[in-house]
Structure 1
Amino acid sequence: MSVIRRSRAERRVRLMPGRPRWMSLNRCEPSSSSRSTSSVQRSPTASTPAVTGQYSIPCRTLLQIRAVQFLYHRLPFDRTRLGGHHSEKGSMVTENPPRSSTSRPAAAAWALGDYPAMARRLEPVADRVLTAAGFTPGMTLLDVGCGTGNAALAAARLGAAVTMSDPTPELLALAVERARVEGLTVEWRQTDAEELPGVHDRVVSVFGAMYAPDADKAAAAMLRACSPDGRIVLAAWTPDGLMATINRAIGPYLPPPPVGAQPPTRWGDPDFVRALFDVPGTVSVTSRVERHGFSFASASEAAAFWLRTAGHVQAERPRLEGEGRWQALHEDLAAVFPRWNRRADDPHPGVLVESAYLITVVDRKL
């Protein structure tokens, strides 16, 4: 494994063919102040080198990431072009040819809403997943579909050697920024749940792997990424819970799903998940249902929160407003929450709703 050393002239922002320079601002080389060392190693699942390195980002790079985030939401361009395949770890990037993957447009959509606001409310679920993972300091852990890094950063605080993976670069950048602020050492890779890096003692996913377009491929990738005596722990919303009800209320306002697409909440069905992971090399697959609460001042506030944080809904907002249907969507969604309100008989105002989710633990054997 050889160490890459670049001259000062080579440590510059890469301009990607066919894109304006500002879109390449987060494709940068480490500055001379970077403390990380990066190396190129052959990925076991790809024909091109995957560049790896420990987390250490110079201030210049962070400013460039913030510039991309600002421009992404302010300037008009085809966001589906973000669907190209990039393998990221540390502050080095290797470009692979773009792929025709159904997950890429969906990955770009996650950046359109205020998902970080939702992620902050989901932090307790990440803690429960890590408790079920049962890792000890020094173990390696992979967070699949890490989003803004709830589970990954919690594990890093407890002494795990953490790798974060997510297909959405904007969310991954936020996770990296959180790690920098806390002074945590992490590694990361921008990739789908179907192509995961390395082999780890623990593989976890908190409402991440469930959105993979091909469940069988995602499960196979997680099994490959888990050591022979390791453990996989997943959290997924159940098919009969609040989240599924919300999706049914929103569905009529959105474009129809691709032919053959299956609902992500099937990952919340114990029988479905058991069938995915009950393969040779697995000693047990166990599941249990947990519940997570959301509190709001009113049903209208709850609906506004869900619409604001859902990127795939925000992507359709201009069309719905043009058709005069945005307010109708808000009203239909607000009507869902009184039926789930656990404070219906409580004299205190407000709405408290709970959504069921399934925690699945997959234990491997030597």
Structure 2
Amino acid sequence: MNPNKALWEKGDFTRLAATMRDSGEALVDSIDVHRGMRVLDLGCGDGTTALPSARRGATVLGVDIASNLVAAGAGRAQREGLTNIRFEEGDACSLDNVASDQFDLVVSIFGAMFAPRPFDVAREMARVTRPGGRIVMGNWIPGDPTLVARILQICAAFSPPPPEGFVSPVSWGVEENVRERFCAAGVPDDHIRCERASYTFRHDGPPSEFLALFRDYYGPTMNAFEAAERSGRKAELQQQLTELFERENQGTASSTVIPATYLKVTVDK
């Protein structure tokens, strides 16, 4: 199996996605998704930004490599009675079933950044966006002190070395890399804008409970705990993450509100 597919089908990301809904709604509002737009949500998960886009009247295609998340997104859309959205399985590196120049907006929030061939991802995103359309990405930033970047950094220290040729997902959080990849896809440099933004996780429970969601359902964290258990370092990993979650929490002892900084990329085709 494709290792990226295996990673995202391993857990149940819908458990974490439930803590991201408010920020998904706010993001869709901020990029002015409206009726009549054609939107591709790439690495859509179970629809955190795809469903709000459809609720605003856009015609939406959600694509994800994980079949369980595609099914979960389709189920959510069906329960809401949304007929202007569909979900399908696909690879951000090669959108074989997607025609060129057809979307007004291509969105990928913490999705396509995890695909293994970033130059192919940039090329495909540019290819399927119509002239005059936009691409919006949200990417975690390497070395950032806030939640998700630190989770990935801590987990990497407890995991086996990556395979030869591996490109870190958080390399998408470096503006120079973003520009290089989209310029190689034919986008003029002055059509690319990068800014730091914040995404907030909200969980109706203490930070320890929120951490348990990452430990039990988020593929990268699950892999790190498995590796740490094999090396006898599971308690050490748990302690480092506990300290991180408690430090970052802006809620109460019984509720979790944690903002995380990311690089927001906007590309004008």
* TM-score, scaled relative to structure 2: 0.85
Q: Which amino acid aligns with 2:173?
A: G
Give 1 or 2 for the bigger CA radius of gyration. Answer: 1
> Higher RCO, 1 or 2 (CA under 8 Å, sep at least 6)?
2
Question: 5 Å matches for 1:234-253?
Answer: 234-239=137-142, 240-242=144-146, 243-253=148-158
- Cα distance, 1:269 vs. partner? 2.1
1:136 aligns with 2:34: yes
Matched to 1:293, the amino acid is T
**Is the contact between residue 113 and residue 309 of structure 1 (CA under 8 Å) also seen in structure 2?**
yes
Which position in structure 2 is the counterpart of 1:188?
Answer: 87
- Shift of the 356–291 alpha-carbon distance from structure 1 to 2, 3 Å rule, reads same
Alignment of 1:116 with 2:21, yes or no, is: no
Quote the RMSD (CA, aligned, Å): 2.4
Structure 2 counterpart of 1:293, from 200, 216, 221: 200
- How far apart, in 2, do the equivalents of 1:182 and 1:205 lie? 22
Aligned position for 2:169? 264
Match of 2:107 in 1: 204
Gap runs ≥5 in structure 1: 1-82, 84-103
Higher helix share: 2
**Cα offset, 1:352, TM superposition:** 4.4
> Which residue of structure 1 aligns with residue 64 of structure 2?
166
The count of corresponding residues between Structure 1 and Structure 2 is 258
Deviation (angstroms), 1:284: 1.5
- Structure 2: segments with no counterpart, 5+ residues: none
Which residue in the other structure is 1:349 paired with?
253
Q: Structure 1 residues 361 and 303, CA, compared in 2 at 3 Å: closer, same or farther?
A: same
Q: Note the alpha carbon deviations across 1:181-232, whole angstroms, 9 max, x for none.
A: 1111223331111122122111101110110111110000000010011111
Q: CA deviation at 1:180?
A: 0.9
**1:1-366 map, 5 Å:** 83=1, 104-185=2-83, 186-196=85-95, 197-198=98-99, 199-239=102-142, 240-242=144-146, 243-278=148-183, 280-282=186-188, 284-294=191-201, 298-315=206-223, 317=225, 320-321=228-229, 324-342=232-250, 349=253, 352-364=257-269
CA distance in structure 2 between the aligned counterparts of 1:300 and 1:106, rounded to whole angstroms: 28
> What letter is aligned with 2:36?
G
Identical pairs, percent: 33
Partner-residue secondary structure (3-state), 2:165 = coil
What is the TM-score with the length of structure 1 in the denominator? 0.64
- 1:333 offset after TM fit, Å? 1.5
Q: How far did residue 173 of structure 1 move? A: 0.6
> Using a 3 Å threshold, how does the CA distance of structure 1 residues 268 and 230 change in structure 2: closer, same or farther?
same
Q: Take 2:230 and 2:174, find their aligned partners in 1: how far apart are those partners?
A: 38
Please give the alpha-carbon distance, in whole angstroms, between the structure 2 residues aligned to 1:316 and 1:250: 5
User: Counterparts of 1:233 and 1:331 in 2: how far apart (Å)?
Assistant: 35
Contact 1:232 1:363 in 2 (8 A): yes
